[in-house]
Structure 1
Amino acid sequence: MKSKYVILASALLISVATFAQKDQIKGAEKALKSGDAQGAITILKDAENLIVNAKDVEQAQYYSVQGNAYLELATKKVEESKNLSLAAESYKKLIEIEKTSGKQKYSTQAAASITQIKGLLINSAIADTQANKNSEGAKKLYDAYLLDKKDTINLYYAASTAVNAQDFDAALPMYEELKKLNYSGKGTSYTAVNKASGNDDGFNTASERDLAVKLGTHEKPKTEAIPSKRGEIYKNLALILVQKGRIEDAKKAVADARKTNPDDTSLILTEANLYLETKDFDTYKKLVGEALQKDPNNADLVFNLGVISANANNKEDAEKYYLKAIEINPNYTNAYLNLAALKLEAEKPIIDEMNKLGTSDKDTKRYEVLKKQREGVFKGVIPYLKKANELDPKNEDVSKTLLGVYKALEMTAEAKALKATMN
């Protein structure tokens, strides 16, 4: 008989607890409706230990109110990043509970709120990067990816932003995940100009864009190919691994990528850059040559061959490759700059010899010969410096170098004209 009373007492305790948590959820809902999101969260925390044993419908309601409260705080910019993450966590628990129970009451609203949170995280991340707060931006982009793992571009942007923040410890696992997913990012962009705003709007498909143009809301439709991002991904992954002293891991990562994607030319250059970083110039040159066979009109590849030839003190080959890069792309600014720098190297031994000369007749005659040689060097670089200045007029190093050449050659009118553009 005594045991029956114990069972009855236990049942009463459970019943009291159930009513208490129901009242707390209702109290939290009331606080939230009155605009007191923080008060709602405080009330719910008191029911946190009891909710585990509650019915599915009550658990779902609990996490719905909790998610709404955290989201309300985030939209009011109260610890925005933290509260967005907490809101998303609550909504995901809600969806899982209703999925298991088979009874969906709050899931549709929760899914819509998660989409809203994803958008808020991305917009906040963009604002962070514009304010040079790249670490914060990278974390928000990664959180956006975790909310919707099908949208892998957010993982790519999170990794790139972490690199911009020099936070390589955060970037490495992101790049490793991109590698595991074999992410490319290759695709097609469909855009048209919005007549009302004047901005380029993106569309999921060409038919969607064409319909907008037909309806008259948009104009100037454009279709562009989005190149593969694998080369950049594996380049950054390899460079981070090299920085951490994991050179063999870096080489293996790129080699694996090439096996998986044999037709992706960007990966050959990525592997070549890795060998350049590790100063294996012979392998670098071999790989760039291999890339050139696949893509002979790639100005970047040819230019890079020029760089490596210059580093190896092979000036003849360096000049040949720079000129070839210009032939492929007449507006390749860096090729003009490197050509000028390559030719200006001939000035140093001339100056060194001039400084050693005395005042004898023999030395004076030699000085005049060297002076003419120096003038020849300067005249030879003018076309390249002028073209580089024309292509990149804001580059102070180019304009200052060209001004120095004009002054050395006593080209007063040209120097005066150039100086006027620099002020």
Structure 2
Amino acid sequence: MKTRILTAVLAMFTVVAFAQKKEIRRAGKAVEKGEWQKAKDYLNEAEAELAGADEDEKADYYLYKGYALIGNGENVPPQDLSAATEAFKQAQQLGHDEAAQGITAASNALVNAAIADQNAKNFEGAADKLYESYELNKQDTLYLYYAASNAVNAGNYDKALDFYETLKDLGFSGEQTEYTAVNKETGETEVMTSKEQRDLFVKSGDYTDPQDRKTESKTGEIAKNVALIYMEKGENEKAVAAMEDAKRENPNDVALLQSEADMYYSMGDMEKYRDIMEQVVEQDPENAVLLYNLGVSSAELGERDRAIEFYKKALELDPEMTNARINIAHVILSREQPIVEEMNTLGTSAAENKRYDELAEERRSVYRDAIPHLEQVLEKNPDNVEAARTMMNIYYQLNEPENAEKMKQKIAEIEAQQ
């Protein structure tokens, strides 16, 4: 009797195992056809008896489960993404040859979902998905970098700092070689996925001018973000230390110097900002934006003549830099304040009246010095309402009502068009 019972159980087990294999094979065929829900149904039927399957069958099961869950990789629910990732990992642990492709598919789906999160401003979700994608393949350090950036945008500074520290330990710079060629039809330079693809396109005759170019290092940006995180946490000393540490490792990185300058600007240390910016300009003297920024810091430090000098140098390099012209006028007009303050302290004696008249003329001279720069602004940019309004006020102060009314009319015309 015992033998008969044992035989019956074994027979039943064989039938279940056979059915299980059949459902897994059906799930595989459904995956090949893109019938994701049908594949899930087959896998659900096989799951109950999975414990009795051999390792090859289990490996197939988890591989098909992963593919069924991510489907075509679009709009995959977060829970399905996580489950698919785990399924592919299990298939890989069980030695399935195709598990690596599945992990790549899961990684791509995670990245697509992260992009959707970014567009929806769900930066926390994007950070988590990008980190999970990095975890699938530790060679994809760029995903960890973007995960850190999203964590910053989410305001999760501790998470961002942890990601940045990992990048630092890995020696990440973000520098990559891009393979480009010019599309003959559009005339635009396009970045190819690989050197082989680029060379193939050029060989076809549809593309010309193949180039290899290096992307910029992200070391400076990372150091700046780490410093800003520490500043946000009220730990300025750690911010400075982090920047100094980065500079020791990358002493010739101009972007890092710029980041250090930005850090001191955020701290309100304009003198330190200005000093570092001058070092940056020495390495990039033809950069109008850098010279403009030096003008701003010099103006904030009360160094008017120096500020104007920097603004003029910026305009020599970029004559269309409207803000530099406006700022020159503002720096000139800032000379008015001490004049007015002294005028307000004077009494009514003959000597004081004489001094008052002298100061009044100095004040008018300040206005006249500013006018040509504002006129150039309006010449280059006729719709600049700020310049027009400033000129109107100047003409009223100079007692030139006709010119003031002209500016008033111009302001009304500009505002009517907006």
Matched, 1:88 2:85: yes
Amino acid at match of 2:296: V
Instruction: Please give the alpha-carbon distance, in whole angstroms, between the structure 2 residues aligned to 1:216 and 1:311.
Output: 56
Which residue in 1 is equivalent to 2:254?
Answer: 265
Amino acid at match of 1:89: E
The 1:61/1:373 distance shift into structure 2, 3 A limit, reads same
Offset, 1:238: 0.8
1:23-62 map, 5 Å = 25=24, 37=36, 41=40, 44=43, 51=50, 54-62=53-61
In the alignment, structure 2 segments of 5+ residues that lack a partner are 396-402
State whether residues 68 and 87 of structure 1, in contact with CA within 8 Å, keep that contact through their aligned partners in structure 2. Answer: yes
Offset, 1:161: 3.8
Matched, 1:406 2:403: no
Matched, 1:72 2:33: no
Cα deviation digits, residues 279-302 of structure 1 (max 9, x gap): 455554544444445444454544
Cα deviation digits, residues 149-171 of structure 1 (max 9, x gap): 33333333333344344443443
The 1:13/1:305 distance shift into structure 2, 3 A limit, reads farther
**What secondary structure is seen at the aligned counterpart in 2 of 1:249?**
helix
The 1:158/1:25 distance shift into structure 2, 3 A limit, reads same
The 1:328/1:49 distance shift into structure 2, 3 A limit, reads farther
**What secondary structure is seen at the aligned counterpart in 1 of 2:94?**
helix
Cα deviation digits, residues 64-111 of structure 1 (max 9, x gap): 121121012754x352x4423432332232123216xxxx3xx1xx43
Offset, 1:343: 2.6
**What secondary structure is seen at the aligned counterpart in 1 of 2:190?**
strand
Instruction: Please give the alpha-carbon distance, in whole angstroms, between the structure 2 residues aligned to 1:169 and 1:42.
Output: 42
Instruction: Please give the alpha-carbon distance, in whole angstroms, between the structure 1 residues aligned to 2:358 and 2:86.
Output: 79
Instruction: Please give the alpha-carbon distance, in whole angstroms, between the structure 1 residues aligned to 2:101 and 2:21.
Output: 25
Amino acid at match of 2:139: K
Offset, 1:221: 5.8
The 1:197/1:350 distance shift into structure 2, 3 A limit, reads same
The 1:56/1:341 distance shift into structure 2, 3 A limit, reads farther
Instruction: Please give the alpha-carbon distance, in whole angstroms, between the structure 2 residues aligned to 1:193 and 1:117.
Output: 33
The 1:197/1:306 distance shift into structure 2, 3 A limit, reads closer
State whether residues 29 and 65 of structure 1, in contact with CA within 8 Å, keep that contact through their aligned partners in structure 2. Answer: yes
Q: Which of the numbers 173, 176, 190 marks the counterpart of 2:165?
A: 176
1:16-415 map, 5 Å = 18=17, 22=21, 25=24, 37=36, 41=40, 44=43, 51=50, 54-72=53-71, 74-75=73-74, 77-79=75-77, 81-98=78-95, 104=97, 107=98, 110-194=99-183, 200-204=189-193, 208-209=197-198, 211-218=200-207, 225-280=214-269, 283-349=272-338, 373-385=362-374, 399-408=384-393, 409=395, 410-413=403-406
Of stretches 261-270 and 141-150 in structure 1, the one that deviates more from structure 2 is: 141-150
Cα deviation digits, residues 95-150 of structure 1 (max 9, x gap): 23216xxxx3xx1xx43444344444444444544454444444444444334433
Amino acid at match of 1:59: K
Cα deviation digits, residues 176-200 of structure 1 (max 9, x gap): 2222223223345443454667765
Offset, 1:230: 1.6
State whether residues 130 and 147 of structure 2, in contact with CA within 8 Å, keep that contact through their aligned partners in structure 1. Answer: yes
The 1:357/1:257 distance shift into structure 2, 3 A limit, reads closer
State whether residues 180 and 210 of structure 2, in contact with CA within 8 Å, keep that contact through their aligned partners in structure 1. Answer: yes
The 1:18/1:324 distance shift into structure 2, 3 A limit, reads same
Offset, 1:236: 1.1
State whether residues 76 and 113 of structure 2, in contact with CA within 8 Å, keep that contact through their aligned partners in structure 1. Answer: no
Of stretches 254-263 and 122-131 in structure 1, the one that deviates more from structure 2 is: 122-131
Instruction: Please give the alpha-carbon distance, in whole angstroms, between the structure 2 residues aligned to 1:200 and 1:295.
Output: 25
**What secondary structure is seen at the aligned counterpart in 2 of 1:272?**
helix
TM-score under structure 2 normalisation?
A: 0.74
Amino acid at match of 1:98: G
Offset, 1:62: 1.3
**What secondary structure is seen at the aligned counterpart in 2 of 1:403?**
helix
Instruction: Please give the alpha-carbon distance, in whole angstroms, between the structure 2 residues aligned to 1:273 and 1:405.
Output: 30
Instruction: Please give the alpha-carbon distance, in whole angstroms, between the structure 2 residues aligned to 1:205 and 1:61.
Output: 32
The 1:272/1:195 distance shift into structure 2, 3 A limit, reads closer
The 1:172/1:321 distance shift into structure 2, 3 A limit, reads same
**What secondary structure is seen at the aligned counterpart in 1 of 2:252?**
coil
**What secondary structure is seen at the aligned counterpart in 2 of 1:381?**
helix
Amino acid at match of 1:323: K
Instruction: Please give the alpha-carbon distance, in whole angstroms, between the structure 2 residues aligned to 1:221 and 1:165.
Output: 39
> How many residues are paired up?
408
Of stretches 274-283 and 403-412 in structure 1, the one that deviates more from structure 2 is: 274-283
Instruction: Please give the alpha-carbon distance, in whole angstroms, between the structure 2 residues aligned to 1:294 and 1:27.
Output: 65
Instruction: Please give the alpha-carbon distance, in whole angstroms, between the structure 2 residues aligned to 1:276 and 1:376.
Output: 33
Instruction: Please give the alpha-carbon distance, in whole angstroms, between the structure 2 residues aligned to 1:373 and 1:222.
Output: 59
State whether residues 406 and 412 of structure 1, in contact with CA within 8 Å, keep that contact through their aligned partners in structure 2. Answer: no
Amino acid at match of 1:275: Y
Instruction: Please give the alpha-carbon distance, in whole angstroms, between the structure 2 residues aligned to 1:43 and 1:303.
Output: 66
The 1:342/1:223 distance shift into structure 2, 3 A limit, reads farther
The 1:29/1:116 distance shift into structure 2, 3 A limit, reads closer
Amino acid at match of 1:257: A
**What secondary structure is seen at the aligned counterpart in 1 of 2:89?**
helix
- Measured on the aligned residues, the alpha-carbon RMSD in Å equals 4.5
**What secondary structure is seen at the aligned counterpart in 1 of 2:191?**
strand
